[in-house]
Chain A
Amino acid sequence: MNNIYRENILEHYKNPLNHEEMADATVDFEDTNPVCGDEIHFWVKIDDDGKIKRATFKGRGCAISQASASMLTETVEGMTVEEVEELGADEIRELLGVPLSPIRLKCALLGLKVLQGALLKYKGEQVNKR
């Protein structure tokens, strides 16, 4: 029983990693899932060579959405912007390692959606700078 709430998910939910605002972030972005009211805000620091130096988040919502965001902050560290843009549902499933119904998958994907939103905003800003 309690298939979804494996120890590691509960651990990330109760003690999320990188769970803070970042004052010197390169970019930040916030979004919600209107269906369940989950909210996530991501802050990302990006190197000059386009690599993620650090990602932090804050949010409110179900264990799946918050644990998934917490795990993401760890995973994307050192990845390039392009690599993060290529992440999708398969990678998130793998990251969480638990069976997810289609509805719960939406919860799991919220963090990634917000993070990718932040990167899109970053790229837009880069273009405008030029």
Chain B
Amino acid sequence: MPSDKKVQGSLNFHKKMAFKICVVAQMDQLSIENIRKDFPILSRKVRNNVPLIYLDNAATTQKPKQVVDAIADYYLRYNANVHRGIHALSEEASEKYEEAHLKVAKFLNAKFQEVIFTKNTTEGLNIVAHGMYDRLERDDEIVVTRMEHHSNIVPFQVLARKTGAKLKFIELDKFETLNLESAEKVITDRTKLVSIPHMSNVLGTINPVKDIVDIAKAHGSLVLLDGAQSVPHLPVDFADLGVDFLAFSGHKMLAPMGIGGLIGKEEVLEDFEPLLYGGEMIKYVDYERATWNDLPWKFEAGTPNVGGGIGLGVAIDYLSNIGMERVHKMERELTKYTMERFSELDFVQIYGPPSEYRGGVVSFNVFNDDGELIHPHDVSTILDEHGIAIRAGHHCAQPLMRAMSIPATNRVSFYIYNNYEEVDKTVEVLKEVKALFS
């Protein structure tokens, strides 16, 4: 039996912890308000002159002043093509563009030569699909999951069709998480590539990447990680995860559209075929043949998106300043709160796993008094009239929606500037939606 003293000590400890958690939550609230000041768009009014509540961050995030200023600065002060001109502007632009690669490398714990700038996740996934073309024989296997975004399934459908390889799927448990037993079965010695999303844009599930890597590596397969929803929201350590490729989009992490990244292990990229050929990616060109430039430039043919790259670098500075652990924690708290508030509404059904297993994404449907589904388009139209921007539809995951036997869902998704009042307001409007359609 514990002595009274011990009990008292433990009580004090819990009190202290509770106090600490409370203080942290308050601090986060404070810093959320500070963060919001960097995003002028968040003080905008929309529709019937109501304040904007932006909850569509899995589609794209808003941009802080710092990022927009850095891009403007490039275009207004040192715009030039990179790696070409021997003049001041070109040197400045090249230096900043390379520095942006370095920032990404540091942010994701990769080497500089492993960081390829692309226009988005989709391009990164296609570079890998294209590079796999020579590496597949008939009856080899490509493995993806049942929770894929269209951009992580369509390139591989085409690749399978062209090479005679088979496309196989890791199954889900209760439409919530990846079933690792299924992964064990589906991945075999014939598997040449396993491609999974780090975090589902529909269910919000954060997948156990290392477990999948272990299985894939035991069979000698390459692993591609679709980081579109994870790189913006969680600490991601490329070297530690052990994947061969990691693709992400800048526009989902405060940076402008048209810039993203594909990180690839140096030894894999060395003899991987690029998708685009042309200027910038070559070293020596004859009329008959050419040799490829060093990494990462071999994969960046043509004039790149220099302003976008610089913007991405500044977005990473912004996120690193907050700290990715903290970003993840803030979003997790808000997601947990949202799921609790939504669970109070008996006419709302939430999809996906408990909050411990997910990032800042909550997909749900709303039902009327007769238990009939209120179509997500109607739900989002009414939310929109209150200034609340959410996503409604199949979220580029038609196969998953069909498997779940639902036509579509509503989805709220968070970022560093979302606060608890925005969730409360959403809950109020959802009650209104139900009333209107009952």
Complex CA–CA separation, A35 to B428 (angstroms): 28
Scoring B residues 379 to 407 as 1 if CB is less than 8 Å from chain A, else 0, what string do you get? 00110011000001110001001000011
B210 CB within 8 Å of chain A: no
Which residues on the B side are within 8 Å of A34 (C-beta)? Answer: 398
Contact A10-B377, Cβ < 8 Å, known A1-B385, A36-B408: no
Interface centre among A14, A62, A63 (most CB of B within 10 A): A62
Partner of A63, one of B375, B394, B401, B408: B375
- Contact (A61, B436) CB under 8 Å given A35-B393, A37-B394, A104-B381: no
Given A36-B393, A37-B401, do A62 and B377 touch, yes or no (CB 8 Å)?
Answer: yes
Establish whether residues A5 and B408, one from each chain, have CB atoms under 8 Å apart when the complex forms: no
Bitwise interface map of A from 37 to 50 toward B, beta carbon under 8 Å scored 1, else 0: 11000000000000
Q: Is residue B48 contacting chain A, with contact meaning CB distance below 8 A?
A: yes
CB nearest to A5 among chain B residues? B436
B385 touches A2 (CB 8 A): yes
Task: List, in ascending order, chain A residues with CB within 8 A of B69's CB.
Answer: none
For A38, the chain B residues whose CB sits under 8 A away are 375, 407
Once the chains bind, are B381 and A10 in contact (CB under 8 Å)?
no
Q: A37-B394, A37-B408 are in contact. Are A62 and B436 (CB under 8 A)?
A: no
CB-CB < 8 A to B378: which residues of A? 5, 62-64
Tell me the bound Cα distance from A24 to B231 in angstroms.
Answer: 58
Q: A40 to chain B: closest CB distance in Å?
A: 13
On whether the beta carbons of A5 and B393 are closer than 8 Å, the reply is no
Binary contact readout B392-430 vs A (1 if CB under 8 angstroms, 0 otherwise): 111000100100001110000000000000000000000
Q: Is the CB of A36 within 8 A of B385?
A: no
Query: When the two chains form their complex, are residues B377 and A104 in contact, meaning their CB atoms are under 8 A apart?
Result: yes
Residue of B nearest to A63 (CB): B378
Closest to B398 in A: A34
Verify if B133 is at the interface (C-beta below 8 Å from A): no
B436 touches A60 (CB 8 A): no
Taking the complex as formed, is A4 at the interface, i.e. its CB lies under 8 A from any CB of chain B? yes
Q: Is the CB of A35 within 8 A of B381?
A: no
Minimum C-beta distance from A33 to chain B (A): 10
Residues of A within 8 A of B436 (CB): 2, 5, 10
CB closest residue in chain A, given B368: A14
Please name all residues of chain A whose beta carbon is closer than 8 Å to the beta carbon of B386 when the two chains form the complex: 1
Q: Is A3 located at the chain interface by the 8 A CB criterion?
A: yes
**B376 contacts across to A, CB distance below 8 A:** 36, 62
Bound together, the chains give a CA A13 to CA B372 distance in angstroms of 12
Interface centre among B375, B393, B406 (most CB of A within 10 A): B375
Q: Answer yes or no: B437 CB below 8 A from chain A CBs.
A: yes
Q: Which residue of B lies closest to A35 (CB)?
A: B393
Given contacts A10-B436, A36-B408, whether A64 and B377 have CB atoms under 8 Å apart is yes
| Residue total for B at the interface (Cβ-Cβ under 8 A) | 19
Check if A107 is an interface residue, CB within 8 A of chain B. Answer: yes
| Cβ-defined contact, A61 with B407, below 8 A | yes
Query: For residue B385, which residue of chain A has the nearest CB?
Result: A1
Measured CA separation A3–B385 after assembly (Å): 8
Closest chain A CB from B382 CB (angstroms): 7
Are B382 and A2 neighbours in the complex by a CB distance under 8 Å? yes
Quick one: closest A residue to B379, CB to CB? A62
B381 near A36: Cβ-Cβ < 8 Å = no
Residues of B within 8 A of A10 (CB): 436-437
Q: Which of A2, A14, A36 interacts with B375 by CB under 8 Å?
A: A36
Pairwise interchain contact A4-B381, C-beta atoms closer than 8 A:
yes
* Smallest Cβ-Cβ distance to B393: which chain A residue: A36
The verdict on A60 contacting B385 (CB below 8 Å), with A34-B398, A36-B393, A37-B401 known, is no
Residue with the greatest number of chain B CB neighbours at <10 A, chosen from A10, A35, A36:
A36
Contacts of A64 in B (CB 8 A): 377-378
Question: How far does the alpha carbon of A60 sit from the alpha carbon of B408 in the complex, in Å?
Answer: 12
| Selected contact of A107 from candidates B377, B385, B394, B407, CB within 8 Å | B377
Most central of B376, B386, B408 by chain A CB within 10 Å:
B408
In the bound assembly, the distance between CA atoms of A38 and B375 in angstroms comes to 9
**Nearest CB of chain B from residue A76's CB, rounded to whole Å:** 24
- In the bound complex, residues from chain B placing their C-beta under 8 Å from that of A35 are 393-394
B363 shortest CB reach to chain A, Å = 14
Check A61–B48 contact: CB distance below 8 A.
Answer: no
- Closest Cβ–Cβ distance, residue A26 to chain B (whole Å): 29
A30 CB to closest chain B CB, in angstroms? 15
4 A-B pairs with the lowest CB-CB distances in the bound complex, closest first: A37-B407, A62-B375, A62-B377, A63-B378
Interface residues, chain A, with chain B CB atoms under 8 Å away: 1-5, 10, 13-14, 34-38, 60-64, 103-104, 107
Other than the given A2-B382, A36-B394, 17 more pairs (CB < 8 A) read A1-B386, A2-B385, A2-B436, A4-B381, A5-B378, A5-B381, A5-B382, A10-B436, A14-B437, A36-B375, A36-B392, A36-B393, A37-B401, A60-B407, A62-B375, A62-B378, A63-B378
Residue ranges of B at the interface with A (Cβ–Cβ < 8 Å): 48, 375-378, 381-382, 385-386, 392-394, 398, 401, 406-408, 436-437
Q: Would you mind naming 21 contact pairs between A and B with Cβ atoms under 8 Å apart? A: A1-B386, A4-B381, A4-B385, A5-B381, A13-B437, A14-B437, A35-B394, A36-B375, A36-B376, A36-B377, A36-B407, A36-B408, A37-B407, A60-B407, A62-B375, A62-B376, A62-B377, A63-B375, A63-B437, A64-B377, A104-B381
